[in-house]
Structure 1
Amino acid sequence: MAVTNLSDVTSSLETLLKENIERRLGNMVTVNTSSVSPLDVSPMGHMVNVFLFHFHPEGKQSIHENSAIDPPVPASFSKPVTLYYHLTAHHNASNEPHLIEQDLLGHALATLLDYPQLNDERFIGGTQVFETNLTDEGNEFELEVVVKSDNEALTVWAGYEGGAIRPSLYFKVKNVKLQPEMPTSLASPILTIGKLVVPNMGPKLFSMQSTVTASFPSVDGPIDRQFKKSPAELYLGAAPTDLDFTLKGASIDQFVGVDLSVPVGNTTETLRVDFTDNAPHGWAIRTERTGVVITFASSVERLVSGVPTLLALEPGPAQLGVTKTEYLEREGAQVPVEIPSNRIAFTLNPHIASITPTVPRRFRIDLDGDYDLNAMAPPGAHSAFIRLAVGGTVIEVVDNLGALTDGQCAISGARSLDFILPTATDDTTLAYVQLWVRDSVSQPFWIGSV
């Protein structure tokens, strides 16, 4: 049970508050977080600030993990501390920001009361709360709201030079144990890293999260809203803001190898992504505080019989795994050994670019991406591959575009489909469109008027 950096505790609290408040608000807003002094906050929309204003040792130090540590000096003991936080809410995008801030404080208080304990197993909406450095260490933190009287709360603000009074919450995190120093010796010998064992059991993936943006119709025009997706969903050909996947796990960084298993026709292909060769196509990988961020594209280049060949990604179920290279000493030489992670499932989804009327009651759906529906669809069985619903009514998928009639749909191009509304459907009424390709559904889309 050990914490090397106290900042990891603070970052985990930010994740807890952000993810749970967004969940409580139906993922309709993006909650921002920071951890600076309340006087130094740069206000943003829906911001929660958690400021560590005090901490102290608590309880008796104990030998870390192994009673065989020798000598038993204080430096080799864990150091339990309690952290005290001052939580404030800030909002700068409303005529009445103080009301939004009060709402945020209410959701923050509910979060602290609903999650009094944090450990490796705490996930919210598929996102792990703990920072990577805190995982696999047996950490079990206790959260407790600190109740202050009105006079005590006002006194806190008087301590901030020039500070104006704001409504606040105070809480503490207990059972935080600082990492002890490594012992100078153990009662028993240990194996040498690099000769017979590796430093860890390899990378571990916890979750993968993405976003999708949808344009909601309104009387004032379309309103764009972005939603989080976990498990992740890649909408092929979507805007760059929806092509980043955040990968959370242990022992992972931007230098891991990334392996994909993707649908190709009626088979599955597994490939290693070379981010250098694929940079011109839009692929990238980087390490951020929230995890490893992978930027996807609609096509990926890989070697086929030694020749670089571009593969257009197709809608359908997919998997991602990573590998990390460790070095073992064999006969005096350093030998690289690849250690794979577990694999995480995600989906590749069709992304609707537009739906336009071609003749009265007949519409064409144009899709983004680089794949070809004609090449993907099984001959004589397009309905087993594609499904379409308009306004809650299922549209029949047929193979013959030339014989299309009311209530039917057919492939009309590499990434286009034509459909005719059922006879009883009003073509001017607002209707929600859902398109499935290999059971992967498109982003929310509407036709008609409000």
Structure 2
Amino acid sequence: MPLSDLSRVTEVLTETLRLNITQRIDPSLAGVLNVTSLPPERAEGESNTVNLYMYHLAEDQQRRNLPGNRSDRAPVATKPMTLVLYYILTTHHSVRSQFDTITEQRLMGYALKTLHDFAVIGDDTEIAGVRLLPQDLRDRQNELEVSFRHVEPEDAVSYWSAEQSSTTRLSAYLDVRYALLEPDPPQRLPGIVLSLGAFVVDIQSPQIAASRSILEFVLPAIAGGGPQAVESSPARVGPPIPALPASNQLTLVGSNLASGQSREILLSNGRWRVRAPALPQVPIDLSLAANAAGEWAVDVRANTIGVTLDTSLDATLPGGGTVTLPLEPGIYTASIHTVKASAIQLGRLKEITDRSNAISFAVIPRVVGVSVVNVAERRIRIDLDASVDLTPATGLGLPGALEILVVVDSVSYTRHDPTVPGATFDIGEFLPNGSSAEVRLQFDPTTPGTYPVRVIVEGAESQPFWFEVP
């Protein structure tokens, strides 16, 4: 859980206790129950109070070596620090300065059941329709794990005797894993290696050795200007653009690619698996009207297969019906499913099939322009091709928000979250919206110069582009 404010974890736990006790266990306590996070001695004399106090924390020894950005100037600062948080749970109820131990024990039972029933708190965990994780902590692979610590009675006596000269108080001890302190954003980004390896393969099977494409871009005036076209491997393809006919052309290079009686190209992407869990690999089916009417095309030759991509792909679901999958920026894999032979046996069609290895390629967010929006606020807008949507809909059955990184003049910018109460769009942040992203620069946008612009979406980087200020 990348965060810099540890109190957010305590807030989630106290809200879980309050909601579950008042909404599910004992509704008569609604408006009466207090859930606090004070040191236990500060909660003495309170009524109908459940108190959860963080008394210790420690770095998790098993997760000390999480990867950071080793190419950065300060690689340690880009590595999150994993913490285990230790809490003590107590209950308090006094009536006219007199302890009510029966009520305290009942409240303790309610609190223990709550933390037992909600031992794991994630994006979709809710009570009475209220999600337990705040909006800004969702869709970031956050998950709190609550577990009770076994403390011997003698150890509990030692804890309380060290705190105050009174009888040991009824209490429970628990730890929460894992809280990750927010790392610094990387200041340098190395190139991406999509695949690397050596494998033992059947020489008769189709094998894909590489993916290739032609990457087209325009040099800045300081470098001579003019359009450039370079071969990219692994392939980096983009949306179809009439002025750039090679922009959506993917070439798979290998051996035995045309073998067998028939074959189909299978594509895979992590976000597609969320949209269509029944289709781990999606075939390019040109018999579907939407695919045939679009840009999709497949050209099979002995050692190469050319694939022309469109902005979305229709696929048939195993249970019937079709689904339309948008070709969002990101990392994809391609493989070949081949039917080597077929025969009728016992009245049924039997097929001998084979499948190639999977090879990676990137669908890039193509930058089409950069313009100054507000000089005083140092605000510029980076425009992408209209087919790209940086803020797609999210929700049930849909993947979460796109992972986006914007780098201008070798400086990485932080994504602004407008859902945080009181948040302001500050210098050093960017805000995606549809097919564009506004950026508040760390330099004056009227300063003459040539500034490289990089937009990276789900690991796929845009073509080279420069923001030129004459």
Structure-2-length-normalised TM-score? 0.47
Larger radius of gyration: 2
